[in-house]
Structure 1
Amino acid sequence: MSTLGENLKKIRKAKKMTQKDLAQKSGVKQSVISDLETGNAKSTGSILELANALGVTAEELKKGIVGDTLEPSNVVIVKPNMAPVLSWVQAGTFTNVESIDMSQVEEWLPLPDECTNCFYLKVQGISNSPDFLEGDYILVDPDVYYNDMQSGDMIVVRRFEDATFKKLVIETDGARYLQALNPEFKPNIIPLDEDCNFVGQVVDCVRYTYRAKRRTKTN
């Protein structure tokens, strides 16, 4: 009887997908996929994500059935687009999405339909609390133009190798600076100088009150 890893490899190749393609589409780390296919891992809690990305059901993946050979079904498999959760170190070196090595991304979250190159950052610290709490995920759109930003917009800026997100303030005389939403945070005002590079606009925030790693039963 074939193993899950063998079935995964067979279906992936039938779909003409590389391990990297499957990792980007499913949000499962490429190293996990590789371990499964080589037999170094016997089971995974990500069967559903892998199956959705391959266009088959979890049961078909376990049995090694290629979806295209099945009889038509009235069940529509939803395949969500996924966006990477970048580290603040990656954000500090960000120039565009292509500049990021996606094989180094450890976490992916669903991507809204209106975003193409958006990515997530996990909030650290209390500089923008209580609006944004540590552990929140902010969605950043790098395709917007800095000149289109308005006073009050939350933006991500990198300065040298550091990245931060703060509220953009534009004074009536045209002067611009960043401000922390938490009035107790110091420094509360950050000047926007020639060393500051606009990364993108914060367009959404996701807060999980509880998250647990899904586990599957093993025989």
Structure 2
Amino acid sequence: METIAARALAARKYARMTQKQAEAASGVKQSNISKIERGDTGRSMALLALARAYRVDPNWLDTGDGPAPWDVPQPRTARDNANEAPGTYRVTRTPPSGPSFRPGTPGTVPLIAWAQVASWNGAAQGTIQAERWLPCVAHHSPGNTYALRVRGDSMTAPSGHLKSYPAESIIFVDTQRTTPEDGERIIARLDAGNEVTFKVFKQEDGRRWLLPLNPKHEPIRTAFTVLGTIVGKWEDED
């Protein structure tokens, strides 16, 4: 299947779901599911939610690579075989508390702690202490992207706003994208005190500042360094 639209439609049909049932299982609005199946929209984090709902390989749904949901799973070779091939996997609705994928699985990124952000070195894969590895269907820099749990409510938008990042939701951070556009969400380090924060990047007339989505919090107008740009979000249904 050559297109995301064709794969999304086939996956839903194989899961024996109507678009309304897929909305209930994934949290993706029926209108957006319809757009994806018609090919009226590009890649988005909605694909990850749909992959979880349909129990399909998110990489297959996004790119066509990997096992289709109707493929017969191949048995894994012995763990002590140095030439072990990657095993097939399926996505569950809610990720387990342990590692979801083997460390370094293609298409996945490590979920790290805030304490690791300031010293992040994506090239040093062997030193990464990750809570688990998660699939990231958004376009990102392999080996230089990580996932992070949101802390606090400064990026929780008022009710009715489309984009919001409540505490404990998971964001995907591409550390190669350090020159964000006005309005993009970023991870930044405040030059005074080295505090790491998640905010909206704002710039106008040569001025740069950090804006929270929650109006109860004040903008940050002190000097800062951009550590990465947010390329997607994962929010568990439960």
Q: Work out whether the TM-score is over 0.5.
A: yes
**Superposition TM-score, scaled by structure 1 size:** 0.56
CA drift at 1:199: 0.8
Unaligned regions of 5+ residues in structure 1, if any? 1-6, 27-44, 54-78, 211-219
1:132 aligns with 2:186: no
- Residue of structure 2 aligned with 1:109, choices 120, 126, 134: 134
Equivalent position of 2:112 in the other structure? 86
RMSD of aligned residue pairs (Cα, Å): 3.2
Aligned AA (2:183): G
Identical positions, percent: 24
Larger Rg: 1
CA drift at 1:112: 2.2
8 Å contact from structure 2 (residues 176, 228) kept in 1: yes
8 Å contact from structure 1 (residues 91, 158) kept in 2: no
**Superposition TM-score, scaled by structure 2 size:** 0.51
Aligned AA (2:109): A
CA drift at 1:8: 4.7
More helix by share: 1
Mapped partners of 1:46, 1:125: distance in 2: 24
Q: 1:48 to 1:119 in 2, by over 3 A?
A: closer
Mapped partners of 2:78, 2:211: distance in 1: 49
Q: 1:111 to 1:201 in 2, by over 3 A?
A: same
Equivalent position of 2:186 in the other structure? 155
Deviation per CA, 1:111-139: give whole Å up to 9, x if none. 22632222111001000103110111011
Mapped partners of 1:134, 1:97: distance in 2: 25
Q: 1:167 to 1:110 in 2, by over 3 A?
A: same
Aligned AA (2:230): V
Equivalent position of 1:169 in the other structure? 202
Match of 1:90, SS state, is helix
Report matched runs for 1:27-38 at 5 Å. Answer: none
8 Å contact from structure 2 (residues 200, 210) kept in 1: yes
Aligned AA (2:226): F
Equivalent position of 2:33 in the other structure? none
8 Å contact from structure 2 (residues 138, 232) kept in 1: no
Unaligned regions of 5+ residues in structure 2, if any? 1-76, 90-96, 158-163
